[in-house]
Structure 1
């Protein structure tokens, strides 16, 4: 990598980290100030998403833009696992949100029964974290000090089988399974909401027909307030699903280069993954996903936009 390219990457890293940190911090402030996270377990997961993304941005800046401190480099390399942990936890938290919405919309009875036991909801926040720990714990063993270049970290595998297994786990846990799961969940939710809209339209038309018919023995009495409340809840549900679907698309685009690059490296080991220019670019694209999510909320998520205006804009 040339000096000009090196400076460009460094500047991009700092800029991305600053934007990601303050964008996610803004989401956290809005959600806490307006108590949005109390409205549903889903919003509590979105708040957790912002915390994970903000921490990952900070760790990215520290581990990949500052030289290793003098002392025990081996321990420093092991602690680099923290970045991969938060990166993976962010991914799995997005997956958990999609599954949670899938159950709520496609299987509402199961969701209602689960919601009756509110004491069990809070521990569920730990599910993405535990899963991320299981996926990334391998880095504690394979991240070591480079014997050829003292003071730098590298990946070391005891054998070729473990090397290929590491790439396969990363590919499945952070790309194939998350993307397929989120795509399936949001597609089924979209179809279900579409059917619900059609049924509600037919019921409304039937209600108007019955009210206008003198021969009808039974009238369907739906108050305007009830209709408005149901429409509002349905629109909010649809708005959130669209928002998270956009996040899924952004994630797929951003994470794919890094995952594919690492898989190729574990298969052939035909380049230095740590120092290769393509790794820096792929990592930059992957981390940019964490900075983009808050802007997706600002663009599409109605509750966040209202909360942002309430928090930062003057009320006349």
Structure 2
């Protein structure tokens, strides 16, 4: 019991940190105009999803269900949306698909820059919005399987035996974890190779002076450095995702392969806590590894501090 209480406290803490951290990410990107780029639009979307996931994490921990649920629509809703973990994992898995789209956006921008620019010359905001919408649509379709796992029976939530459930579960596990991980791993390897080639091309290039005193190699090196910074940050996000998600998804896959899994055991609860942790870690990664985000933070809070100092100076009649 003490172990489960500790896990509950841990999940509450990660939920609160996730709400505050992701809320700060949304605020910074919304307020700083220089951060309103295509890549940061997906990071903003990621933060919104993780904020919702963190909120649901806290609610699920703190809302205690009665021993007996009503045998009506509310009871069916409780089993299908709450007990089945649909309400929680909907946002967690949605975060996976948005991370996949964010990774592929960087992949095409770096590996196929000319095709990338051509694709976004017309209706760029619409295309970004459509990419985000597809994450929600595909996730909703995929997660519909989870709604069928439990049903209400005599005031209790019991497992619903579905014909072919194991096969469906394996397909769901592959689509929500194995395929995104494989695609993102391939993308990061290709991006890494391309950036090494880019660094080799920039190094020995002759100086070509441009208006304003800049030269082509300096600008190319600056662009490469910015891309490298974003790449390293996203790579850390991906590695963190792997660490947090793999144990839970291995259990889910084993269950659908017919292996007996105790979903009320301490190890399963730890894997859920690890998945929940993923929603609060990303803002910390941005703060430590994403230079553009740190600059945005300084721009907001240093400006507010300067304004406060100016007001203090005016009120005291000095200066």
Q: What is the aligned partner in structure 2 of residue 277 from structure 1?
A: 266
- Please state how far the C-alpha of 1:84 moved relative to its aligned partner: 2.1
Q: CA 1:74 to 1:194, structure 2 compared with 1: closer, same or farther past 3 Å?
A: same
Distance across 2 between alignment mates of 1:24 and 1:63: 19
Aligned length: 293
TM superposition score normalised by structure 1? 0.86
Look up the match of 1:83. Answer: 88
Partner of 2:198: 196
Instruction: Find 1:8's aligned residue among 6, 9, 12.
Output: 6
Against the structure 1 CA distance between its residues 15 and 154, is the aligned structure 2 distance closer, same or farther, given a 3 Å change threshold? farther
User: Do 1:27 and 1:50's aligned partners in 2 also have CA atoms closer than 8 Å?
Assistant: yes
- Structure 1 residue 222 displacement after superposition: 5.0
2:11–2:276 CA contact under 8 A, matched in 1: no
Change (3 A) 1:263 1:155: farther
CA distance in 2, matches of 1:304, 1:9: 31
From 281, 289, 298, the counterpart of 1:300: 289
C-alpha deviation, 1:120, in angstroms = 2.9
Equivalent position SS for 1:203: coil
Q: 8 Å contact 1:37–1:47 — kept in the other structure?
A: no
Task: Work out whether 1:257 is the aligned partner of 2:262.
Answer: no
Which residue in 1 is equivalent to 2:172?
A: 170
- Paired with 1:60 and 1:41, the residues of 2 have a C-alpha distance of 29
Whole-angstrom distance in 1 between the partners of 2:255 and 2:107 = 35
- 2:59 & 2:141 partners in 1: Cα distance? 23
> Which stretches in structure 2 are left out of the alignment for 5+ residues?
310-319
Deviation, 1:27, is: 0.6
Q: Give the SS at the match of 1:268.
A: coil
Task: Check the 8 A contact 2:287/2:293 in 1, yes or no.
Answer: yes
Identify unmatched segments of 5+ residues in structure 1. Answer: 208-219
TM alignment of 1:83-102, pairs within 5 A: 83-102=88-107
CA, structure 1 residues 116+154, in 2 after alignment: closer, same or farther (shift >3 Å)? farther
1:42 counterpart residue number:
39
Question: SS state of the match for residue 67, structure 1?
Answer: coil
Provide, for residues 172-212 of structure 1, a one-character-per-residue CA deviation record: whole Å limited to 9, x for no partner.
123211111111111111111111111111213xx4xxxxx
- State the match for 2:60 in structure 1: 63
Distance 1:86 1:36 in 2: 28
Task: Report the RMSD for the aligned CA atoms in angstroms.
Answer: 2.1
Deviations, residues 143-196 of structure 1 (Å, cap 9, x unaligned)? 323x48x45x4542313x322321x13321232111111111111111111111
Provide the residue aligned with 1:239 in structure 2. Answer: 229
1:142 lines up with 2:149 in the alignment:
yes
Extract structure 1 runs of 4+ deviating beyond 4 A: 220-224
Pairwise CA distance, 1:79 = 2.5
Q: For 1:266 and 1:64, how far apart are their aligned partners in 2?
A: 26
Query: Is structure 2 residue 248 aligned with structure 1 residue 290?
Result: no
Deviation by residue 1:109-150 (Cα, 9 ceiling, x = unmatched):
1101111112433222212212211211111222323x48x4
